[in-house]
């Protein structure tokens, strides 16, 4: 399990293997055996299992698509467009709909902040971001 990533099917493969090896109701000398270890005594099955395990443990560490470059305007715009609407505002009380109203302006503002964070490797929280404004809309019948 060392080196396995959440995004891989490593745990799924192990779970399937455990299900195949699991004995239904077999008691040996008064002890219930959980797995059919004798299946791994077959050299071909053992080699196949070891090869599958190696593939999953190697692929989980080598296939990470990490881009070390600073984020671009296009990536920022794409991330803003991908935000789900009708969700609660985050800790800075900015709902996603407000960010999507004028994407070019939002990108210009956020891009400068992102580049600053990227270069300094530190996040500075603006005090005005912690302010939120609520407008009460009366409903019919209230």
Do 53 and 34 share a structural domain?
yes
How distant, in Å, are the alpha carbons of 36, 37, 106, 140 from that of 41? 10, 7, 62, 74
Has residue 137 been placed in a domain? Answer: no
Has residue 45 been placed in a domain? Answer: yes
pLDDT band at 104 (very low <50, low <70, confident <90, very high): very high
Give the C-alpha separation, 94 to 132, whole Å. 8
Mean pLDDT of 45-73: 73
C-alpha closest to that of 117 among 65, 70, 47: 70
Instruction: Show the domain range for 77.
Output: 73-130
Which tokens belong to 3? 């080196």
Do 42 and 19 share a structural domain?
yes
Do 41 and 85 share a structural domain?
no
pLDDT band at 110 (very low <50, low <70, confident <90, very high): confident
Q: How far apart are the first and last CA of the chain?
A: 59
34-51 residue pLDDT tens: 666 666 677 787 788 788
C-alpha closest to that of 77 among 114, 119, 107, 40: 107
Do 53 and 92 share a structural domain?
no
94-103 residue pLDDT tens: 888 888 988 9
> For the chain, what is the mean pLDDT?
74
């Amino acid at each position: 399990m060392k080196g396995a990533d959440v995004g891989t099917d490593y745990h799924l493969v192990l779970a399937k293997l455990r299900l195949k090896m699991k004995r239904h109701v077999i008691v040996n000398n008064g002890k219930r055996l959980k797995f059919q270890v004798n299946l791994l005594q077959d050299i071909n099955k053992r080699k196949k299992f070891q090869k599958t395990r190696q593939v999953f443990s190697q692929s989980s560490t080598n296939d990470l698509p990490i881009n070390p470059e600073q984020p671009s305007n296009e990536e920022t715009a794409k991330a803003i467009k991908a935000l789900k609407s009708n969700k609660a505002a985050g800790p800075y009380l900015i709902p996603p709909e407000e960010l999507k109203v004028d994407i070019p302006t939002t990108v210009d503002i956020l891009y400068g902040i992102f580049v600053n964070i990227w270069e300094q490797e530190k996040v500075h929280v603006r005090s005005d971001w912690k302010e939120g404004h609520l407008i009460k809309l009366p409903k019919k019948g209230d």
